[in-house]
Structures are given as structure tokens and as C-alpha cells.
């Protein structure tokens, strides 16, 4: 969430920057600043009214003490009116604050200067590519056919139990899935991230804290009786662990990792591009989350990119990195890089990770601050990344490692799963 003071100081620059998102901010900024002026003037009137009421109360006490009951009772009538005025002003203040807050929730983050212009994923900018795309033999299969052939993932059984988008992993498929999770977590902890196991449901405050609410409410599974939401990523509970915290500068950097199942309704997703593991309603993911000081956050983002690069290098999967354009940038992000792995059998790139810097946008919602060395309170910067999301990584492994005699297992995973071939 943007700070009102920053909007006031940088109004024209922010309006121009948000054009990258195709977001016309002028009218909403004018309304924000008008509401803030109303809030401040109402607060001033309320403070003045309360001060007058307190002053009169002290005078009344002295009058009663001195036996001047008639004068005291006359002043009591005035205090009654002041109390009524203060009640009305308090209600007006609360209404202005609530309206201002709701309006601020509708404004996306300011994109970083490096974010390219564009309206869709077609305009994203490729900034890096690495790895050799293997040449597969004629008759090579996409992963959903391989899963059926080797009986390692059952999409129909998942559909029977729950519905489309909830696969059942079996035998070596389940073991390979578990191996990936453990290896990703081990690599994160080796890189200095502290592992957490977190709840799979969050309350409304957590959804607002990291920006899933109100922006993505329709994409989250909602447990209505308890007003809880199934998490779309471990980012939500991990980042919210620090909600309402006042930290010290020496506490940084904060580096967290966690494995969770993730739940996304993916409403409106249909067609061949969502077959198999390409898009699921439930999937596994290892997340990395960082809290940083402003001057260190983009250095941290580069470190996170290198971490994901190294995972894909060790898995020996061909991949590329895209810098997302303004039109494809998520609501809360200032800068996002997507990693895509090449699916040889499908002849297409599949997104397997997003690494983002939210700058102070989430921290302002979370009220996540720290004291600098001079004792001033500053908003922290928050970052997160998939390291990695499993479904499309697994799809890439199955398709790119297939041979005429089965599917080879990447060398780094063999000690974790206990076999080197799926046949």
C-alpha cells in the first residue's frame, strides 16, 4: 500500500509511473489527498473539542470544590454539548480513515524504473537464458502421457476424489516429488534461510497484509464459516509472521524458507495450455522470503535470482529469465523476474518461479517497521521467490529427461529419492 505522504510528494511522478500498468492514477490520487485533508481537519477539530472539554471538566471540579454549584452546573451543560460534538467528530474521523484505507487498497505498487512498457506477457523482456535444449527422439511424449505410461501421476483419480487440478502422485512419482521438496529446502537452508512450517490457512488480516485481498479474493479458496483463506503460497503466512513488528536495523537481513501445498482457484483457466501439471488448483512449492533495509533490497533480489539459477543449473534444465512488463506485473510488486523452463515435448516455455521485490508496499500494509541507527522508524522492504514451484519443474524433468528406456532422474536428486530411473 502506498503512503499518503509519498503520494503527496511524488504525485506527478507516480501518475506517470503507473501508466506502465495502464492505471490512470490522477483521479484516485486527487481523491486520496482530499480525503487525507478531511481526515486531518476532522482530527484537528476533534482534538480541539476534546481539549476544551477536558479544560472545562477541570474548571467544573474546582467550582464544585469551592461551593460554586450554580456556575458548575452551567458549565456542565457546555461539556455535554462538547461530548456530543466529539462523538460526531469521532464518527466522521473513523469514516474518513476507513474510506481512505479502502481507496489506498485499490492502488497498485509503483513499478521500478527498469520495468518495461507493455500490456501483456508478450511484452515481457528476456534478460537471461541458459542451458541446452535436449533433442528428443521421435515419438517423445508430453508429461501427462509419461505420467500415465509409467503410472506415477494419476489425474483421473484426483478428479474422482476432488476434481480437475488435484492430481494424485504415486510410487516413484510421489518419491520424486518428496525428493524435490527436500532438496529445495536443503539448498535454501544452506544459503542461510531459516526453515519454517506455517499454517495452510490465514485470516483476513493476513490476506490484506501481503496484498492478496482485496485484489485476488476471487482466486483464493475461502472457508466461509471460519472466514479463513487457503494460502496461495507460503509467502502469505511467512511474511505475516512479521506483521505489526518493530524491528532493529541489526536484525536484517531476515531470510525465511518454507514448504507448503498451495491452493489457487485459477478461475477462467481452460484449454490445452493447462493440461497435466501445467496449471493446478493444489500444488507444492518451496518459497524463500526476505526482509531487508531499503538500500539492500535490490542487492538481495539479485542474490535470490542467483539462488534460483543455481537450482536450475544443478537440475540441468534449460531456462530463461524474463523481466515482467508493467501490464503483466502483479498488483503488489515493484519489480518481478519470472523463470521459465523449456518443455521440450510441449515445445513451449513454462513458468516455474517468480522472484519479486515489493519495496515498502507490503510493509506499509503490515505495519512492518524497524528503527534505524538514529532511532527513526522506517518501513522495511519485503521480497519473495519460488525456489521452486514443483509441478512445472517436475513436468520439465519428465519431458526433458525421457529416453527410450524410461526417464532418467537428475543426478542431484538420486540420493534423495533412492533411484536413478523411472521405468
Are 416 and 183 in contact, with CB atoms under 8 Å apart?
yes
CA angle 344, 349, 355 (to 5 degrees): 135
Tell me: is residue 343 an annotated ligand-binding position.
Answer: no
User: Does the annotation list 287 as a binding residue?
Assistant: yes
Cβ neighbours, 10 Å, residue 339: 29
How, if at all, do strands 153-154 and 222-223 pair?
unpaired
Interstrand relation of 254-263 and 194-195 (parallel, antiparallel or unpaired): parallel
* Sequence-separated (6 or more) residues with CB below 8 Å from residue 228: 201, 202, 203, 222
Q: Closest by alpha carbon to 42, among 106, 126, 99, 104? A: 99
Whole-angstrom distance, CA of residue 165 vs CA of residue 322: 26
Is 288:173 a contact under the CB 8 Å cutoff?
no
Which helix (H) or strand (E) element contains residue 311?
helix 297-315
**Is residue 92 helix, strand or coil?**
helix
Task: Check: CB of residue 323 under 8 Å from CB of residue 125.
Answer: yes
Annotation-wise, does 194 bind a ligand?
A: no
Instruction: Report the alpha-carbon distance of residue 102 to residue 214 in Å, rounded.
Output: 9
265 is in an annotated binding site: yes
178 is in an annotated binding site: no
Whether 106 has a binding-site annotation, put simply, is no
User: What does the alpha-carbon distance between residue 79 and residue 284 come to, in Å, rounded to a whole number?
Assistant: 62
CA trace torsion 295, 297, 303, 305 (10° rounding): -140
- 3-class DSSP state for residue 359? strand
Helix (H, G, I), strand (E, B) or coil at 318: coil
- Distance separating alpha carbons of residues 359 and 296, to the nearest angstrom: 10
- Residues 32-52 as b/e (b if ≥16 CB within 10 A, e otherwise) read beebbebbeebbebbeebbee
Q: What residues pair up with 140 in beta bridges, in sequence order? A: none
The binding site comprises: 233, 264-266, 287, 351-354, 384
The binding site for ATP comprises: 264-266, 351-354
The binding site for L-serine comprises: 233, 264, 287, 384
Amino acid at each position: 500500500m502506498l503512503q499518503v505522504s509519498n503520494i503527496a510528494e511524488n504525485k506527478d511522478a507516480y501518475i506517470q509511473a503507473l501508466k506502465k500498468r495502464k492505471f490512470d492514477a490522477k483521479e484516485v490520487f486527487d481523491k486520496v489527498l482530499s480525503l487525507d485533508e478531511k481526515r486531518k481537519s476532522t482530527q484537528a477539530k476533534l482534538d480541539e473539542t476534546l481539549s476544551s472539554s477536558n479544560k472545562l471538566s477541570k474548571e467544573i471540579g474546582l467550582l464544585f470544590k469551592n461551593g460554586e454549584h450554580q456556575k458548575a452546573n452551567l458549565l456542565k451543560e457546555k461539556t455535554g454539548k462538547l461530548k456530543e460534538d466529539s462523538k460526531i467528530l469521532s464518527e466522521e474521523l473513523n469514516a474518513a480513515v476507513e474510506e481512505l484505507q479502502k481507496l489506498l487498497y485499490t492502488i497498485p505498487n509503483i513499478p521500478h524504473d527498469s520495468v518495461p512498457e507493455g500490456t501483456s506477457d508478450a511484452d515481457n523482456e528476456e534478460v537471461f537464458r541458459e542451458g541446452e535444449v535436449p533433442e528428443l527422439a521421435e515419438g517423445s511424449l508430453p508429461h501427462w502421457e509419461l505420467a500415465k505410461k509409467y503410472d506415477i501421476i494419476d489425474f483421473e483419480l484426483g478428479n474422482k476424489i476432488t476434481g480437475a487440478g488435484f492430481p494424485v502422485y504415486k510410487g516413484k512419482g510421489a518419491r520424486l516429488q518428496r525428493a524435490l521438496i527436500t532438496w529445495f529446502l536443503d539448498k535454501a537452508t544452506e544459503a542461510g534461510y531459516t526453515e519454517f512450517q506455517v499454517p495452510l490457512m490465514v485470516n483476513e488480516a493476513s490476506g490484506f497484509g501481503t496484498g492478496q485481498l482485496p485484489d485476488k479474493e476471487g482466486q483464493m479458496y475461502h472457508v466461509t464459516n471460519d472466514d479463513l483463506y487457503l494460502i496461495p503460497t507460503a509467502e502469505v503466512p511467512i511474511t505475516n509472521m512479521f506483521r505489526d513488528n518493530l524491528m532493529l536495523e541489526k536484525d536484517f537481513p531476515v531470510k525465511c524458507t518454507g514448504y507448503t501445498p498451495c491452493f489457487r482457484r485459477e478461475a477462467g483457466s481452460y484449454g490445452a495450455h493447462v493440461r497435466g501439471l501445467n496449471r493446478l488448483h493444489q500444488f507444492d512449492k518451496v518459497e524463500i522470503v526476505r526482509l531487508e533495509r531499503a538500500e539492500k533490497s535490490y542487492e538481495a533480489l539479485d542474490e535470490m535470482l542467483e539462488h534460483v539459477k543455481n537450482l536450475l543449473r544443478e537440475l540441468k534444465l534449460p531456462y530463461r529469465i524474463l523481466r515482467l512488463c508493467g501490464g503483466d506485473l502483479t498488483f503488489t510488486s515493484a519489480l518481478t523476474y519470472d523463470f521459465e523452463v523449456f518443455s521440450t515435448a510441449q515445445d513451449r516455455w513454462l513458468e516455474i518461479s517468480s522472484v519479486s521485490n515489493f519495496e515498502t508496499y507490503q510493509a506499509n500494509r503490515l505495519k512492518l517497521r524497524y528503527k534505524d541507527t538514529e532511532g527513526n522508524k522506517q518501513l522495511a522492504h519485503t521480497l519473495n521467490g519460488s525456489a521452486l514451484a514443483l509441478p512445472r519443474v517436475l513436468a520439465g524433468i519428465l519431458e526433458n529427461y525421457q529416453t527410450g528406456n524410461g526417464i532418467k532422474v537428475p543426478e542431484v536428486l538420486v540420493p534423495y529419492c533412492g533411484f536413478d530411473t523411472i521405468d
